[in-house]
Amino acid sequence: MSRVKQGFRVELAPTPGQVEAMGRHAGLSRFVENYALDKIRAAFAQRAAERTYGVPDERLTRAPWTAIDLEKLWRAEHPAVAPWFAGSGLSSRVPKEACRVRAAGLRNWWASKTGKRRGRKVGFPKLRKRKHGSRFRYDADRVRPATDATVSLPGIPGKVATREDLSWLTVRLGDGRARIIGATVRERAGRWWVTFQLDIDRSGINTARQVAQDAPACGIDLGLRTFAVIADDTGTVEQVQAPRALKAAQRKLRRANKALARAQNGSNNRDKARRKVAALHLQVAHRRSDFLHQLTTRLARTKRAIAVESLNVAGMVRNRRLARAVSDAGFGEFIRQLEYKTGWYGAKLWAADRWYPSSKTCSACGVVNAGLTLADRSWTCQCGTTHDRDHNAARNLLAAMHPT
Q: Please name the residues in contact with 181: beta carbons below 8 A apart, sequence gap of 6 or more.
A: 5, 140, 141, 197, 198, 199
Residue pair 201/178 in contact (Cβ under 8 Å)? The answer is yes
Identify the CA nearest to 238 among candidates 30, 121, 394, 89.
Answer: 394
User: Of the residues 187, 221, 232, 328, which is catalytic?
Assistant: 221
Helices (H), 209-330: 245-248, 250-262, 268-302, 313-317, 323-329
| Rounded Cα distance, 103 and 95, in Å | 12
Which conformational region is residue 346 in: left (phi greater than 0), alpha (psi within -120 to 50 degrees), or beta? left
Is residue 390 part of the annotated active site? The answer reads yes
Distances (CA, A) of 268 to 215, 271, 272, 306: 57, 5, 6, 52
Active-site annotation holder among 33, 97, 201, 309: 309
End-to-end CA distance of the chain: 26
Q: How far apart are CA 48 and CA 158, in angstroms?
A: 49
Q: How far apart are CA 36 and CA 31, in angstroms?
A: 9
What is the three-class DSSP state of 41? helix
> Which amino acid makes up residue 25?
H
Which among 69, 187, 328, 390 is annotated as catalytic?
A: 390
Residue 221 annotated as catalytic: yes
Instruction: In whole angstroms, give the CA distance from residue 145 to residue 12.
Output: 12
Work out whether strand 134-139 and strand 178-188 pair parallel, antiparallel, or are unpaired. antiparallel
User: What is each CA distance from 202 to 15, 179, 273, in whole angstroms?
Assistant: 34, 12, 43
- Catalytic residue IDs: 221, 309, 390
